[in-house]
């Protein structure tokens, strides 16, 4: 690692927002959770749920998701990282999907994921035909629209039509006229029904992209969802729908998770008590969705709430974890600033002192010693979850 890379990692950790270099520098000590994630991506094309982890503020949830990203990239997955926010509400598939596509990373390349996949698909012998066969089979569950897209991808397309297909796969409008013209030129104008609704197509795109990525030579699609706890600030109906969408992403209902898509998500460890039980969400929100005539949504919402209550907890750092991280950071801090950083006491393990507190505390102490020649006094303040409803939510 160069001095510049070491400094960018230290600065990211100082800010509490680990970048890719920092994630690779620290690794993960959550062996059992990492093992579960490895199993999940290894079996992404088989039925099975995603992974939901839980921890308090600063315990390393985002860091662990970042580690999952690096691990999945090494296994040749296309990887997306989505943070739940006002711009990406979990209750709205359209916006979540758009964010997942926008952030999608291709292993060892900086290309747009869909553009890269389509290019690899078209230059690999037999790849387009395999994709068409996979999405056209009656048991595949794909709309004929995607069979039509696969069919024309095997032909010479004008740039505008190809760009229209790319935009559609990323969440845009289906270029029906251009697609129909391309089918007519291929002699398949009457073969495919292009009358699917916009809602059907959004659900279907989530199913098609893993198939596209696999046909292009990738292992599948991994989506990582952070800060799920922000749904606690939604109003009742939006929160109910968010639970149902979380269940869809995680594949908590048989047949819901698209094959080839593996999802891991992170939530605060006090959400079940602070929101689900305190507000009686399981009973009230399931009833609300039933009243809206959405029994499947009600079932999915309950499944998500049960999964949150059983989410895999991050374990507190052990003395060995703290010593290892202090030694690793000390070595790279010295490389970053060309200064021999002294060993520090890893610090007392307390319930209100998270790994983030330890890391930022060590960096601050080295800063004070390097710049001021004196030892810093570190005060720790616990950050509590805020599930107050946003106005207008």
The pLDDT tens digits of the residues spanning 247-278 come to: 999 999 866 678 999 999 999 999 999 999 99
pLDDT level of residue 26 (50, 70, 90 thresholds): confident
pLDDT level of residue 317 (50, 70, 90 thresholds): confident
CB 333 within 8 A of CB 363: yes
Whether residue 209 has pLDDT greater than 70? yes
Whether residue 346 has pLDDT greater than 80? no
Domain boundary among 175, 202, 229: 202
Query: Can you give the pLDDT at residue 348?
Result: 61
Residues above pLDDT 70, as percent of the chain: 93
DSSP letter at 223 equals E
The answer to whether position 87 is within a domain reads yes
Residues 188 and 328 in one domain: no
Rounded CA-CA distance 138/45 in Å is 18
Query: Can you give the pLDDT at residue 254?
Result: 67
- Mean pLDDT, the chain, integer: 90
Q: What is the pTM of this model?
A: 0.89
Query: Using alpha carbons only, how large is the chain's radius of gyration in Å?
Result: 24
Residues 235 and 296 in one domain: yes
Query: Can you give the pLDDT at residue 189?
Result: 84
Residues 184-202 pLDDT 10s: 999 998 889 888 777 778 8
The answer to whether position 354 is within a domain reads yes
Residues 379 and 327 in one domain: yes
Q: Is 115 left (phi over 0), alpha (psi -120 to 50) or beta?
A: alpha
Residues 105-164 pLDDT 10s: 999 998 999 999 999 999 999 999 999 999 988 778 889 999 999 999 988 889 999 999
The answer to whether position 4 is within a domain reads no
The answer to whether position 2 is within a domain reads no
Range of the domain at 343: 318-393
DSSP letter at 274 equals I
Q: Which residue has the higher pLDDT, 19 or 68?
A: 68
Query: Can you give the pLDDT at residue 307?
Result: 97
Whether residue 379 has pLDDT greater than 90? no
Q: How many domains does the chain have?
A: 3
Q: How many CB atoms lie within 10 A of CB 139?
A: 5
When pLDDT is averaged across residues 22-42 and rounded to a whole number, the result is: 93
Rounded CA-CA distance 40/219 in Å is 12
Whether residue 178 has pLDDT greater than 90? yes
The answer to whether position 213 is within a domain reads no
């Amino acid at each position: 690692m160069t001095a510049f890379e070491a400094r960018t990692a230290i600065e990211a950790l100082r800010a509490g927002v680990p970048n890719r270099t920092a994630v690779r520098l620290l690794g993960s000590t959550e062996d059992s959770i990492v093992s579960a994630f490895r199993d999940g991506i290894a079996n992404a094309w088989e039925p099975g749920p995603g992974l939901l982890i839980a921890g308090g503020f600063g315990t390393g949830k985002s860091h662990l998701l970042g580690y999952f990203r690096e691990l999945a990239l090494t296994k040749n997955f296309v990887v997306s990282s989505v943070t739940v926010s006002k711009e990406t509400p979990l209750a709205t598939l359209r916006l979540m999907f758009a964010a997942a596509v926008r952030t999608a990373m291709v292993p060892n390349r900086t290309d747009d994921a869909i553009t890269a996949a389509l290019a690899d698909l078209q230059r690999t012998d037999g790849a387009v035909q395999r994709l068409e066969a996979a999405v056209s089979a009656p048991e595949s569950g794909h709309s004929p629209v995607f069979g039509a897209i696969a069919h024309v991808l095997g032909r010479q397309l004008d740039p505008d039509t190809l760009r229209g297909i790319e935009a559609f796969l990323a969440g845009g409008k289906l270029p029906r006229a251009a697609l129909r013209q391309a089918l007519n030129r291929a002699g398949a104008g009457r073969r495919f029904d292009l009358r699917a609704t916009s809602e059907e197509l959004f659900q279907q795109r989530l199913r098609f992209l893993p198939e596209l990525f696999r046909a292009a030579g990738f292992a599948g699609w991994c989506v990582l969802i952070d800060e799920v706890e922000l749904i606690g600030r939604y109003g009742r109906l939006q929160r109910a729908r968010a639970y149902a969408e979380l269940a869809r992403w995680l594949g908590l209902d048989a047949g819901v998770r698209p094959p080839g898509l593996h999802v891991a998500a992170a939530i605060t460890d006090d959400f079940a008590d602070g929101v689900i039980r305190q507000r009686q969400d399981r009973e009230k929100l399931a009833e609300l969705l039933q009243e809206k005539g959405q029994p499947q949504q009600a079932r999915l919402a309950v499944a998500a709430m049960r999964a949150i209550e059983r989410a895999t907890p991050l374990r507190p750092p052990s003395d060995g974890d703290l010593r290892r991280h202090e030694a690793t950071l000390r070595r790279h801090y010295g490389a970053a600033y060309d200064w021999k950083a002294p060993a520090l006491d890893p610090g007392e393990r307390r319930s209100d002192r998270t790994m983030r507190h330890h890391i930022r505390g060590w960096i601050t102490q080295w800063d004070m010693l390097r710049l001021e020649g004196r030892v810093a006094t570190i005060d720790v303040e616990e950050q509590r979850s805020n599930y107050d409803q946003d106005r207008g939510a």
